[in-house]
Amino acid sequence: MRTLLRLSRSSLRADKRRFAGTFLAVFLGVAFLAGTLVMGDTLRSAFGTMFGDATAGTDAVVRGADVITTPGDSRGQRSPVDTSLVRTVERVPGVAAAAPQIQGAGQLIGSDGKPVGGQGPPTLAGNWITDTRLNPYRLAEGRAPARSGEVVVNRGTAEKGRLKIGDTTVLRTPDPVRVTVVGLATFGGENGMGQVTYTGMTQTDAEKYLTARPGRASSIQVRAGPGVSQEELVRRLDRVLPEGVEAITGQESARENTDLVSGQFLTIFTTFLLVFAGVALLVATFSIHNTFAIVVAQRARENALLRALGAVRGQVAAATLTEASAVAVTASLAGLAGGIGVAAGLQALFPAIGFPFPGGDLVLRPLSLILPPVVGVAVCLGSALMPALRAGRTAPLAALRETAVDTSGASRPRAVAGGALLAVAVATTLTGVLVSPSVWLAGGGAVLALVAFVVLGPVAAGTAVRLLGGPLDRLRGVTGGLARRNALRSPGRTAATASALMIGVAVVSLFTVFGASLKATMDRTVSRSFAGDVAVSTPSFGAGGSGLSPRLAPAIARLPQVATAVGLGRGVAEVDGKGRALTVTDPVALQRTFDLGRVSGDLRGLGADGLAVTRDEAARRHLAVGATARLAFTDGTVRTFTVRAVYGRSELVGDYVVTRAAWAPHRTQDSDTVIAVGFKHGVGTAAGEAAVRKVAAHYGDPQVQTRAEYARSSAGGIDMMLTLVYALLALAVLIALLGIANTLTLAIHERTRELGLLRAVGQTRAQLRAMVRWESVLVAAFGTAGGLGLGAFLGWVLVEASDGASDSSFTFALPPVRFAVVALVGVTAGALAALRPARRAAGLDVLRAIAE
């Protein structure tokens, strides 16, 4: 065994170039995985420290016990508390201080007239708490607000909006409020709470603009006296608090806030990155397997000699796995170091691109240091296992004969097995999508389809290369014909090389199809449901933004150019025990501006106790016209509503509609999400839009868009998501291209004598370079074509599964232009991957190559 180990070390030293591609594939995959884990740990720790420092003076928080969560909003809306409770809390033994905290949505307008923030993270406004220990924000410059219209903003918001002390601007609450910046604040020693913006005002202004009526607060912050623990303080507070109000410790509140601001974001963000790390490592398995398969094939005579000298199968296989282990451990440790470097680089880069990464050292948890190298070693050894077993099965007599051309990959049993697997995959997928909608069935079928593609790769390689390479005989003559035959000589090798690229292209195509389908869905929804001429909205998505003033729609409706203007507000309530979003609007104007499909009952008769429900929701909840439903609101009241109308389409409107009169007693901070405007007959779009813009300018200057512009802006986040996806998948494609380059390099070494003979009979260096490049292009074209087909299929499955799993109706769309770009990039990348191997092949010495 020692002799075999020495041979393995000697082989590694002699064939360092052979394993360069494997080293890079493992290194990049492990670095991506390690960087993601370390960055996630660091961000969680930094946000936890920041919240802990910011709320260190708060020992207890008194808040409403009831919270209503709706689908898509896991944070929910919590019931308010009366500010009169502050006096009750202050009389509790052990309480040193208490202050109400009033919080709502408030979006500042920057010096350039554009809103600051709102693209996802919340834009918060609240009362400035004068007790410095209870206030999580600290004054860094200026002073606290003392008069109406004065505000303090966090320093990060001021920098983004280019605001300074003394500047006057507008705060959307959503009604526009003229404010003057008198101070800049920090949060936990940082310029802000991540991307969240904050504006602090006087308590009177906060009650006026952020609540439906004075005397309501989001919570009460409490500070304990000397010697009173947080747990003891909470126990004392619980004895005096009324029903529906609870107290929690300051530490628990800090943990909740950390999870709220950073937990959900980080979970989604790190999961997103881990998926792509997994894709990169999956792509790497094909490149690693191909490398060891070629190396084992090249060493067939060497391994046969070892068998002839007495080595058993296990020893020869162990020698190959020893080489794989050495490469895996070295590359994985280097990848771990690289991943830590990536995390450190991102920590420095994030502030530069506008994301304030909280300060602090990198956090290196044991799992983040152990898992990436273990995964890297497992991937490398798993990929090398089959080639190692094949090496162990080498017959001693193979030392006496030339190695035959490998055509085993295209065997009939493989074709039968792969075809059967593909049939099962398609049947399972169609069952889960069309027959009996099930995300698990559809997902299982998609995974089986991926496996079937890999199994059938060598079988399809011959046919695909013949078809794709057919024109080369006519366009490139003998050079093209040789390139095509080289790609055909080992179907298994060609398929394994192309499979790495296929998976990368398939994932790119999957997200491209899903993004195009989301855009098509939004276009269809707006064009089908929205009958207005222009839409007024705020440029925000997610939890950000402050919405639109409910007074804006009536102001627009009074314009002589406007026939109808209807605002869609948002409320929440529990309908028969289930949290649901309510659309608050004027039902009569709604029916004139939106296509609601067939309506049963009378939308005009909703009144203050009526409800309109979509047909699908009515069927799920067993509701019909005339039925009643109990609605519980965040203010603690429970009322019985009567279903007075059932309409066909929800899409832009939602599942439940109530009047503003019905919502008014229970509202908190009232706002509209969008206003649909229809012009009178004969009014041109340009003239009507100009009139609407003039009125909207007095209400914070929100966006005024045509229907087509509104549809495009509503889907604007999709392009941002796709750009990030493409950037991350570039790593997987890079690993695939390294695999192609490595395979070509090893194949050139394998064909050294053949290449020398071609040069000897007259082939020029340029022709030899072209032959290698076209071979690479054929392999890349095969992988790209397979990836596009697989990605389109998986994209259809994802769209249809999403359609069946949600209340929304999705439209499947194939983007031909983007697919053409992906195909062009894949083929071009294949040509680039062959540049170095082609130069190396052309540089071979003819006589030495023949004598090889």
Which range scores top for mean pLDDT: 49-53, 387-391, 787-791?
Answer: 787-791
Q: Which residue has the higher pLDDT, 516 or 142?
A: 142
Measured CA distances, 380 to 295, 330, 374, 587, 728 (Å): 15, 11, 10, 63, 22
What is the average per-residue pLDDT within 591-604?
87
pLDDT band at residue 182, thresholds of 50, 70 and 90? very high
Q: Is 351 exposed, middle or buried, given 0-12, 13-18 or 19+ CB atoms closer than 10 A? A: middle
> One-letter amino acid identity for 743?
T
Same domain, 683 and 576: yes
Whole-number pLDDT of residue 18? 63
- Say whether pLDDT at 651 is over 80: no
Q: Out of 160-169, 317-326, 337-346, which region has the weakest mean confidence (pLDDT)?
A: 317-326
- Asked whether residue 609 is domain-assigned, the answer is yes
Whole-number pLDDT of residue 112? 86
Same domain, 757 and 630: no
What is the average per-residue pLDDT within 505-518?
85
Side-chain-facing half-sphere of 40: CA atoms under 13 Å: 23
pLDDT band at residue 795, thresholds of 50, 70 and 90? confident
Residue recorded with tokens 């269809």: 524
pLDDT band at residue 164, thresholds of 50, 70 and 90? very high
Q: Is 131 exposed, middle or buried, given 0-12, 13-18 or 19+ CB atoms closer than 10 A? A: middle
pLDDT band at residue 12, thresholds of 50, 70 and 90? low
Cβ neighbors of 498 (< 8 A, separation 6 or more) are: 457, 461, 779, 780, 782, 783, 786
Same domain, 850 and 788: yes
Whole-number pLDDT of residue 249? 94
Q: What does the H/E/C string look like for 676-726?
A: EEEECCCCCHHHHHHHHHHHHHHHCCCEEEEHHHHHHHHCHHHHHHHHHHH
pLDDT band at residue 354, thresholds of 50, 70 and 90? low
pLDDT band at residue 573, thresholds of 50, 70 and 90? very high
- Say whether pLDDT at 465 is over 70: yes
Whole-number pLDDT of residue 194? 67
What is the average per-residue pLDDT within 791-812?
74
- The parent domain of residue 350 ranges over 1-58+250-404
Residue recorded with tokens 């031909």: 816
> Bridge partners of 575?
578, 631
**Residue from 617, 603, 598, 605 nearest 656 by CA:** 617
Same domain, 504 and 621: no
- Asked whether residue 414 is domain-assigned, the answer is no
Q: Out of 405-409, 505-509, 519-523, 724-728, which region has the weakest mean confidence (pLDDT)?
A: 405-409
- Asked whether residue 420 is domain-assigned, the answer is no
Q: Which residue has the higher pLDDT, 461 or 580?
A: 580
- Asked whether residue 429 is domain-assigned, the answer is no
Q: How far is CA 362 from the centre of its chain?
A: 24
Q: Which residue has the higher pLDDT, 83 or 273?
A: 83
Whole-number pLDDT of residue 849? 60
- Asked whether residue 318 is domain-assigned, the answer is yes
- The domain tally of the chain equals 4
Same domain, 398 and 365: yes
- Say whether pLDDT at 104 is over 60: yes
Residue recorded with tokens 């000298």: 309
Last residue of a domain, one of 638, 673, 699: 699
From start to end of 9-66, where are the E strands?
Answer: 60-64
What is the average per-residue pLDDT within 637-643?
92
**Residue from 541, 583, 559 nearest 698 by CA:** 559
Whole-number pLDDT of residue 668? 82
What is the average per-residue pLDDT within 716-732?
74
Structure token digits, residue 357: 């990464």
Strands 73-78 and 103-105: unpaired
Residue-wise pLDDT for 621-632, tens only, equals 888 999 999 999
- Asked whether residue 425 is domain-assigned, the answer is no
What is the average per-residue pLDDT within 55-79?
83
> One-letter amino acid identity for 50?
M
Distance CA 523, CA 607 (A): 33
- Say whether pLDDT at 239 is over 50: yes
Q: How far is CA 564 from the centre of its chain?
A: 38
Same domain, 527 and 586: no
Same domain, 215 and 99: yes
Which range scores top for mean pLDDT: 163-172, 189-198, 730-739?
Answer: 163-172
- Asked whether residue 725 is domain-assigned, the answer is yes
pLDDT band at residue 611, thresholds of 50, 70 and 90? very high
Same domain, 360 and 380: yes
- Say whether pLDDT at 357 is over 70: no
What mean pLDDT, rounded, does the chain reach? 82
Same domain, 730 and 638: no
Which range scores top for mean pLDDT: 186-190, 367-371, 449-453, 476-480?
Answer: 367-371
From start to end of 65-196, where are the E strands?
Answer: 67-70, 73-78, 81-82, 95-101, 103-105, 107-108, 119-120, 123-127, 137-142, 150-154, 168-172, 176-187
Q: Out of 7-16, 146-155, 391-400, which region has the weakest mean confidence (pLDDT)?
A: 7-16
CB-based contact 562:670 (threshold 8 Å): no
What is the average per-residue pLDDT within 1-25?
64
Same domain, 234 and 301: no
Side-chain-facing half-sphere of 562: CA atoms under 13 Å: 24
- Say whether pLDDT at 715 is over 80: no
What is the average per-residue pLDDT within 124-128?
93
Whole-number pLDDT of residue 47? 76
Residue recorded with tokens 């593909």: 422
3-state SS assignment for residue 641: strand
Whole-number pLDDT of residue 17? 61
Phi and psi at 436, nearest 5°, equal: -125, 90
Cβ neighbors of 506 (< 8 A, separation 6 or more) are: 450, 786, 787, 788, 790, 791, 794
Q: Which residue has the higher pLDDT, 42 or 148?
A: 148
Measured CA distances, 497 to 63, 173, 283, 286, 782 (Å): 60, 58, 10, 7, 10
List the strands of the sheet with 95-101, edge to edge. Answer: 95-101, 219-224, 60-64, 245-249
Q: Which residue has the higher pLDDT, 411 or 611?
A: 611
Last residue of a domain, one of 404, 421, 448: 404
What's the pTM? Answer: 0.75
Side-chain-facing half-sphere of 666: CA atoms under 13 Å: 27
- Asked whether residue 541 is domain-assigned, the answer is no
Same domain, 21 and 148: no
What is the average per-residue pLDDT within 146-174?
92
pLDDT band at residue 232, thresholds of 50, 70 and 90? very high
Q: Give buried/exposed letters for 837-846 (b at 16+ CB in 10 A, else e).
A: bbebbbebee
**Residue from 650, 607, 643, 651 nearest 625 by CA:** 643
Residue-wise pLDDT for 404-459, tens only, equals 445 445 567 777 887 888 888 888 888 877 777 676 777 788 888 878 877 887 77
Whole-number pLDDT of residue 804? 56
Distance CA 90, CA 616 (A): 51
Instruction: Give alpha helix (H) positions in 403-438.
Output: 412-430
Last residue of a domain, one of 249, 270, 298: 249
Backbone conformation region of residue 23, classed left if phi is above 0, alpha if psi is from -120 to 50, else beta = alpha
- Say whether pLDDT at 267 is over 90: no
Whole-number pLDDT of residue 263? 59
pLDDT band at residue 700, thresholds of 50, 70 and 90? confident
What is the average per-residue pLDDT within 521-525?
79
3-state SS assignment for residue 240: coil
Same domain, 674 and 728: no
Percent of the chain with pLDDT over 90: 25
Whole-number pLDDT of residue 264? 65
Q: How far is CA 755 from the centre of its chain?
A: 48
